[in-house]
Structure 1
Amino acid sequence: MTKADIVTQIYYKSKDLPKPEIATIVDALFEVIKEKVAARQTIYLRGFGNFFSKYRSLRKARNVKKNVEIIVDPYHSPAFKPSQEMIKKVKNETAKISQKSTRKAR
């Protein structure tokens, strides 16, 4: 699913807002998420999940082509942790899909 697909889905559900305005809102939402995670702030979206910056410490790695050990500097990486509500929804939908596919196979 692309950002355009998300805009279209919201458009069909809202019916009140024009598509360009929805696209602007979606772009602004994603921009705020990027800015806050880059600033090492956590964004809590109840029923959906948390966006946060995860610290990765200094570590050793290996350059396989040259067979040389290298040091990877510490860095922050964006991360997402889904809420329990979202996990349950995905599990239930997955179970429904797998039940449908096993019925068709019989």
Structure 2
Amino acid sequence: MTKSELIAHLAGANPHLRQPDVELIVTTIFDEITAALARGDRVELRGFGAFSTKARDPRTGRNPRTGEAVEVSAKSVPYFKPGKELRERINKAGPAAQRRVAARASA
């Protein structure tokens, strides 16, 4: 599901809200999560999961086109840990839904 699909779904499920209002709400939520992670904070949504950052050490990488060694500096990357309720609902969804999720993840 893309951001625009999420907005359309939420607007359809809540006819008392106009689509531009739903778009503003969704964008604001994403902006607040992003800002918190940029500050180094952890964002926990009980039952859903927690967003945080993880530090990556500097390393030597390779340019895939030339094979040349390239120094990659240390950086922070976003990390999501699913909550218990989310994991349980996904596992309850059954094997067909899990295969669709796995197929999208490997694509």
What TM-score do the two structures reach when normalised by structure 1?
Answer: 0.77
Matched, 1:79 2:97: no
Q: How many residues align?
A: 97
1:29 alignment partner AA: I
CA radius of gyration, larger in: 1
**What does residue 101 of structure 2 align with?**
none
Gap regions ≥5 residues in structure 1: 99-106
Show the 5 A alignment for 1:12-91.
12-63=12-63, 65-68=66-69, 70-91=70-91
- CA distance in 2 between partners of 1:77 and 1:97 (Å): 28
2:76 alignment partner AA: H
Moved more, 8-17 or 89-98: 89-98
Percent of aligned pairs with the same amino acid: 28
C-alpha RMSD of matched pairs (Å): 2.0
